[in-house]
């Protein structure tokens, strides 16, 4: 699997330069600007979808078929994308959290509760993309997966608008056990999505 990951890094370095630049700009904005959760969360969200970008290039170049001629199992091909997603997300997560902590300390407004809420939001919103999209991409291919991506974005926006309208923030209990529970569910869904993608990809004909 080392070979697959190395190839993914080469491809990410080539095709995701713009994404990396965006991450830096948004991190700088979140560090320098006022408290705006969007600037802090966005880098994790886009870092999480790097595997989908690479998969669409791989489909175009017929790597998906070629990888089946190499000594890799389909489970390894899928796992390399989930691991890659985790690595990029983790890097964005750590940098975002560090930037948030520095900004809060710099503003004399550091609060552990807010910091943990931010961490939970970064985890959930960073993993939500690959969790829901990768099984679609591995089952139907990158083209149809992209349609699923737009549907998902629309759905998430609709849900957030609806919850905001209902005064969701006021009733949300931000206690530590709840936050840990939310993180646990996020990680569990990521693992379930991983297994589902392996199942779909094993059945897919290349």
Partner 1 sequence: MNALEIRNLTKTYTGFRLDHLNLTLPSGCIMGLIGENGAGKSTTIKLILDMIHKDEGSIQIMGKDNTKNIQLLKEDIGVVLDDVGIPECLTAKQVGKIMQYTFQRWDSKLYNSYLQKLSLPTEKPFKEFSRGMKMKLGIAVALSHHPKLLILDEATSGLDPVVRDEVVEMFSEFTRDENHSVLISSHIVSDLEKLCDYIAFLHKGKLLLCEEKDRLLEQYGLVQCSKEQLLKLAPSAVKGKKISPYGVQALVLRKYIPANMVISPISIEDLFIFMVKESV
Binding residues for partner 1, rule: CB under 8 A, are: 2-4, 6-7, 10-11, 14-15, 57-58, 60-63, 65-73, 205-206
Residues 6 or more apart in contact with residue 83 via CB below 8 angstroms: 1, 5
Query: What's the DSSP call for residue 34?
Result: S
Q: What is the C-alpha separation between 24 and 30, in angstroms, rounded?
A: 10
Q: From residue 60, give the alpha-carbon distance in Å to each of 66, 67, 135, 141, 193.
A: 12, 13, 18, 10, 24
* Helices within 61-111 (DSSP H only): 63-67, 74-106
Is 36 or 73 the residue whose CB approaches partner 1 more closely? 73
Between helix 74-106 and helix 2-15 the angle, nearest 10°, is 50
Residues 6 or more apart in contact with residue 92 via CB below 8 angstroms: 23, 43, 44, 46, 47, 48, 126
Do residues 68 and 201 touch, judged by C-beta distance below 8 A?
no
Q: What is the C-alpha separation between 86 and 50, in angstroms, rounded?
A: 10
């Amino acid at each position: 699997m080392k070979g697959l990951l190395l190839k993914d890094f080469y491809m990410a370095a080539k095709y995701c330069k713009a994404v990396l630049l965006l991450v830096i700009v948004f991190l700088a904005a979140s560090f320098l600007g006022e408290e705006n959760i969007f600037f802090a969360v966005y880098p994790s969200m886009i870092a999480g979808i790097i595997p989908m970008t690479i998969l669409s290039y791989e489909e175009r170049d017929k790597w998906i078929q070629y990888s089946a001629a190499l000594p890799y199992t389909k489970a390894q091909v899928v796992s390399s994308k989930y691991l890659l997603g985790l690595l990029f997300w983790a890097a964005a997560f750590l940098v975002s959290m560090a930037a948030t902590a520095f900004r809060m300390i710099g503003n004399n407004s550091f609060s552990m509760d807010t910091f943990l809420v931010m961490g939970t939001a970064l985890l959930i919103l960073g993993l939500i993309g690959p969790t829901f999209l990768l099984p679609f991409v591995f089952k139907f291919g990158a083209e149809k997966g992209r349609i699923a991506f737009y549907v998902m974005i629309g759905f998430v926006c609709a849900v957030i608008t609806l919850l905001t309208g209902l005064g969701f923030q006021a009733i949300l209990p931000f206690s530590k056990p709840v936050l840990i529970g939310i993180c646990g569910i996020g990680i569990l869904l990521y693992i379930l999505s991983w297994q589902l993608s392996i199942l779909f990809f094993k059945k897919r004909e290349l």
